[in-house]
Structure 1
Amino acid sequence: MTQPNQAPVIVIGGSLVGLASALFLSAHSVPVVLVERHTASSPHPRAIGYTPRTLELLESVGIPASSLRAGKGPPSGRPRRIKVQSLAGEWTDEQHWNNNSSNNNNNNNNNNNNAKPNGGPKGPPGGPPGDGAKVYSPLISAAITQDRLEPILRRRAVELGADLRLGWKMTSWAQSADGVSVTAVNRQGEQVTLDGSYIVACDGARSAFREHLGIPTTGVGHLRSLCSIMFRCAPVEHYLDRGFVQFAIEGRDDGFEAFLVSYHDGRWALMWNTDAADAADVPDNNDNDNDDDNKSKNKNNRTDTADTAEAQRALVRKALGLGPDVVRDEDIELVAVGHWDMSARIAERFSSGRVFLAGDAAHTLPPNRGGYGANTGFADAHNLAWKVAAVRSGAADASILATYDEERRPVALVRHDQLFVRDDYKPYARGGGGDWAATGRTVEVLDDIAMELGQIYRSAGVVLGAEGDGEGLPDAMRPDEWRGQPGTRAPHVAMVRRGTKEEEEISSLALFGRGWVLLSRDGGWRGVADGAGTRVGVACEFVCVGEDVVEADRRETFEDNFGVGASGAVLVRPDGFIAWRSAERGPGFEGEFADVFRRVTFARG
């Protein structure tokens, strides 16, 4: 069957963020063609940790979190890292994600006392409501390697109708006031021209789109060039029994420094710096498939000496601290060798005309234990998809698309800065002391839960209320501190859905994701939602708390979590973020809500 060569959206790049874009667009019934020059995933595991928020997004499009539990790693928490002279040699200091010193402003310095990403500081994650734990998400983070997650995303995207063109390489593209076009060629030399309305550029850290559009970047910049060896070695698996999976090799008499990491599935990676003092990124626009892990290949600027299997095994043994009498050649299965750069750069614009940058094309960040790489890209894709769908359906004016940059770029800037105030990357910050910020503001270490579930959007798509433009608000807080602040993710509240034969316990998050939702305990808002939907031309579902749903634990009330009174209401966008709220129902609320609804939906006319 001949594939159509027209689609509203063309996605370039078929790694994690490209696949996520195709997935979320298809879930909103937007036809999409994805162009990816490779036919399969890279053998390198690359990204591995996915936050509760990413799992919430995937569950919303039919990928259950249970399908992402892979390997032997812990289901939640940060990977533990320790300084060693070798894997079998002396182990010294544990390196904590939230900094090793106590003289910072984060109250979670001690890694052992940190709240897990979905649980509060006073109890275990996922504990029953009211027992001292604060549960921020119904899900816990997952550890699955990128090469095993990508096939899951591909299958689901195809099920939802996405057209994935694997093995096709983009050779040219163009945009005009009326649309976009992409020319691609496959390995058999066949050529095709695709026409559409928008391009989502997920073409990686060396984005050809970003370069062609002349979009500059800000940030710390190039960090280092590295070589990595992927291998299996069964005789050393028992070294993981103490809970550490990352090993910083340093302090040796021979000066050898490297980084060793386990991926929980029998695979290990050994990485070491290959930079000369003046090393810099070498543009390579052919490597445009890597949109989420910051590992941009650099074959022109490497100084490694691991070009033979013998040399590679020798380096592995040096890192392991075990000789050939203990680890034989046949014990070390060499999987792949990679050459890549670490850098930190944020594009100064996330869109230009009809082209939108996502993932590493928009924000390149080095691998980190905060989950700021691929997870940030997933959220990019989710933020953009519903807006494109609204424009395509005629429900919203195209000006809504400007809020993609307004909302997602500040998130990336904050995540960039959070990396360089933590000990893992602080030495790379200008001045060597973490004293430089892409945001231009003083940076303090922010709480992990706040970073994952509590970053705020300030845009024309949000009515922030008395806070005006929101500049006086913090960049991130925990959901129970925000208490339903417009511009933040709607909080998780355990609820029971009524109206079915068997009452079903759900998360409040399950109410969102399909369209606009107005929530209130006051049933008088139902007619307001219906009336505004009719006047504006955009459907607005009303959910009455106490009738349609009730709190599973009356101590965790809708009012407390969303910051409203008994007659107040909260408007939630299709992406699960709060667009507006009213603490109480006041006089003239019907007209006020209709005006607000027209504004935040960007309704035409």
Structure 2
Amino acid sequence: MTDGVARDEGVLIVGAGPTGLTLAIELARRGAGVRIVDAAPVPHRESRGKGLQPRTLEVLEDIGITERVLAAGTTRLPFRKYFDGAHVNDTDPFAEARPTPDAPYERGVLIGQWQVERLLRERLAEFGIAVESGTEVTGFEQDEDGVTAFLADGGHIRAGHLVGCDGGRSRVRKALGVRFDGTTDETQSMVVGDVEAEGISRDVWHQWFASDGAGVMLCPMPGTNSFQFQSGPELDADGEPLPPSLESFQRIFERYAGVPGVTLTDPTWLSVWRVNVRMADRLRVGRVLLAGDAAHIHPIAGGLGMNTGIQDAYNLGWKLALTTAGRADAGLLDTYEEERLPVAAWTLGISTDLYARVREAVREPGTGVEAAAPPPMGTGYRWSSLARSSLAHASTSDATTVSAPAVGDPAVLRPGDRAPDAPCLDAAGDPVRLFQVYADPRFTLLGFGAEVAGAVGKLGVEHEGLVQAFAIDGGDLRDHEGHARRAYGVTGPALVLVRPDNHIALLTRDPDEVTDYLSRIVLITPKE
């Protein structure tokens, strides 16, 4: 297959996992040209990464599939722990968690990765785009005008940019010559797979552990008859790991679970997982970028992999769309690496620590895997060059109108932080949440107070294709319970500019600062 794509008119995504699919949707809903290819001839049906975190649910709400995810998965699955064959306890680490006005998702969702990918493909199809399956990219060349990707069938695809979302063994990353720094511990491995098991309750996540530090876990996968099986590998007479098989799974289960009469059947996925802690040293080389597992891989604990990749794509999508449309210089793409590499490093560190805690927890009868429940993700990008506080331009007497946080204070909203949700009323008096407002792919400008309502309307007209503007209590939205003001730390007239990926761009009172901010990262007049 041979295509010609002119400069900056399209993006080729290599890899149709959660990262690549999310990026394709983000580009498509902004009108950017996009093609997504995958070497596999058909989609897989493997549970793999099986959890979506609350911040990821916010991201997926923005692109339009969270309701479908919640319908397909489950948010409540207690952990049932056994130790040396005896039942120890049933626990739910999120039993006391409740949604709040600024954070509507108090817990994550258990759902198979293949189900997430199916829902993302369905959403992408609503934009008229399908994954080009069985299309293997073997290499590429880039020049000043674009990238030419070479295919296994002898064809090629020409695009303005190429994004490698092709997993931990990424061919795109290797072709770029990007280092993948870190370690692989061959002495620590796990066998995983999807099997069926009659006679085992599907109401809990079973965790059988033994005093020798080993064990087996069976997690029921929602919407299926299967369980995800996890265990250390069975060893041969020389102490070497045996390859995963249904027979070895059965022997491991019988040894540690001690549940008579249960036979594991119908394996649809058998695999080995090894402890990898690696990260790319760069995320962009010219017109080629990396995202998801192609850029970082880490221990399985905490379920952070699929989530981090989706959030990579969410950060990159709007920046790539503006760049390919000629609305921003390519320098905007540098902020993708600036913002996401530190997050990748944090994820590697925290997931490695969580994995160590899991291994320690299984040796203690009174604890379990829930002791290593992951911390929240999506804490923001305060360090970014796109995060800017306007308070340096304000007088001391003015500084009370928007909270002035101390550097590093997580309790006070700052530029770069995740934009909170809040219930409001629209112009017709109907309930609407800020997250619903933010689902528009543009920047969002909120104006608090009658004093700035006129400026909000003017800015919205001046930057119509780039910004949607709302006067709070000025006719567009009503903060009828004060949740928006509390969430954003507003005590007087204020302008809040929210990025397309729902992070705070600017907190100010000066309309000129809004225009100044946009002009620093976006070309107000599109390129011809």
Task: Judge same fold: TM > 0.5, yes or no.
Answer: yes
Q: Is the 8 A contact 1:365 1:373 kept in 2?
A: yes
Look up the match of 1:542: 469
Alpha-carbon separation, structure 1, partners of 2:405 and 2:137: 41
Q: Is the 8 A contact 2:13 2:163 kept in 1?
A: yes
In structure 2, relative to structure 1, the CA distance for the partners of 1:210 and 1:66 (3 Å cut) is closer
Asked if 1:341 is matched to 2:341, the reply is: no
Counterpart residue identity of residue 91, structure 1? H
Look up the match of 2:241: 303
Alpha-carbon separation, structure 2, partners of 1:509 and 1:232: 39
Look up the match of 2:166: 203
Q: Select which of 243, 253, 270 maps to 1:316.
A: 253
Alpha-carbon separation, structure 2, partners of 1:552 and 1:559: 10
Q: Select which of 356, 360, 366 maps to 1:425.
A: 356
Q: Alpha-carbon deviation of 1:344?
A: 2.0
Q: Select which of 158, 168, 192 maps to 1:228.
A: 192
Q: Alpha-carbon deviation of 1:9?
A: 0.5
Counterpart residue identity of residue 269, structure 2? A
Counterpart residue identity of residue 215, structure 1? V
What are the equivalent positions in structure 2 for 1:96-495 lying under 5 Å apart? 112=93, 116=97, 125-126=98-99, 135-137=102-104, 141-185=108-152, 190-219=153-182, 221-222=184-185, 224-237=188-201, 240-241=202-203, 243=204, 245-252=205-212, 257-264=215-222, 265-274=224-233, 303-304=241-242, 306-307=244-245, 309-323=246-260, 326-327=261-262, 332-369=265-302, 371-422=303-354, 424-426=355-357, 451-465=376-390, 473-474=407-408, 477=410, 481-483=411-413, 485-495=414-424
Q: Percent same amino acid among aligned pairs?
A: 24
In structure 2, relative to structure 1, the CA distance for the partners of 1:393 and 1:11 (3 Å cut) is same
In structure 2, relative to structure 1, the CA distance for the partners of 1:250 and 1:447 (3 Å cut) is closer
In structure 2, relative to structure 1, the CA distance for the partners of 1:568 and 1:392 (3 Å cut) is same
Report the 3-state secondary structure (helix = DSSP H, G, I; strand = E; otherwise coil) of the residue aligned with 1:29: coil
Alpha-carbon separation, structure 2, partners of 1:410 and 1:114: 31
Structure 1: state its 5+ residue gaps: 97-110, 117-124, 127-132, 277-300, 430-444
Alpha-carbon separation, structure 2, partners of 1:570 and 1:182: 41
Report the 3-state secondary structure (helix = DSSP H, G, I; strand = E; otherwise coil) of the residue aligned with 2:190: strand
Asked if 1:38 is matched to 2:23, the reply is: no
Counterpart residue identity of residue 401, structure 1? L
Alpha-carbon separation, structure 1, partners of 2:93 and 2:48: 26
RMSD of aligned Cα (Å) = 3.6
Q: Alpha-carbon deviation of 1:514?
A: 2.0
Alpha-carbon separation, structure 2, partners of 1:523 and 1:393: 35
Alpha-carbon separation, structure 1, partners of 2:70 and 2:41: 22
Counterpart residue identity of residue 50, structure 2? I
Alpha-carbon separation, structure 1, partners of 2:392 and 2:172: 36
The aligned length equals: 496
Look up the match of 1:521: 448
Alpha-carbon separation, structure 2, partners of 1:357 and 1:251: 42
TM-score, length-scaled by structure 2: 0.83
Counterpart residue identity of residue 506, structure 1? V
The one-character-per-residue Cα deviations of 1:234-267 (angstroms, maximum 9, x if unpaired) are 2122xx54x4x15153325xx8544443324432
Structure 2: state its 5+ residue gaps: 361-370, 394-403
Q: Alpha-carbon deviation of 1:82?
A: 3.1
Look up the match of 2:425: 496
Q: Alpha-carbon deviation of 1:403?
A: 0.5
Q: Is the 8 A contact 2:121 2:130 kept in 1?
A: no
The one-character-per-residue Cα deviations of 1:498-547 (angstroms, maximum 9, x if unpaired) are 1x4xx321211222242122212234535545655777896333211112
Q: Is the 8 A contact 1:83 1:249 kept in 2?
A: yes
Counterpart residue identity of residue 375, structure 1? N
Q: Alpha-carbon deviation of 1:562?
A: 0.9
The one-character-per-residue Cα deviations of 1:341-375 (angstroms, maximum 9, x if unpaired) are 23122222121111111111112122233x42111
Look up the match of 1:597: 518
Alpha-carbon separation, structure 2, partners of 1:487 and 1:199: 27
Q: Is the 8 A contact 2:165 2:292 kept in 1?
A: yes
Q: Select which of 497, 510, 515 maps to 2:436.
A: 510
Q: Alpha-carbon deviation of 1:591?
A: 3.5
The one-character-per-residue Cα deviations of 1:27-52 (angstroms, maximum 9, x if unpaired) are 11112111101133333211221123
Q: Select which of 480, 489, 492 maps to 1:566.
A: 492
In structure 2, relative to structure 1, the CA distance for the partners of 1:269 and 1:142 (3 Å cut) is closer
Q: Is the 8 A contact 1:543 1:549 kept in 2?
A: yes
Q: Is the 8 A contact 1:258 1:272 kept in 2?
A: yes
Report the 3-state secondary structure (helix = DSSP H, G, I; strand = E; otherwise coil) of the residue aligned with 2:155: strand
Counterpart residue identity of residue 125, structure 2? V
In structure 2, relative to structure 1, the CA distance for the partners of 1:534 and 1:112 (3 Å cut) is closer
What are the equivalent positions in structure 2 for 1:37-56 lying under 5 Å apart? 37-56=39-58
Alpha-carbon separation, structure 2, partners of 1:532 and 1:335: 55
Q: Alpha-carbon deviation of 1:230?
A: 2.5
Q: Alpha-carbon deviation of 1:472?
A: 8.1
Counterpart residue identity of residue 411, structure 1? V
The one-character-per-residue Cα deviations of 1:271-303 (angstroms, maximum 9, x if unpaired) are 344599xxxxxxxxxxxxxxxxxxxxxxxx973
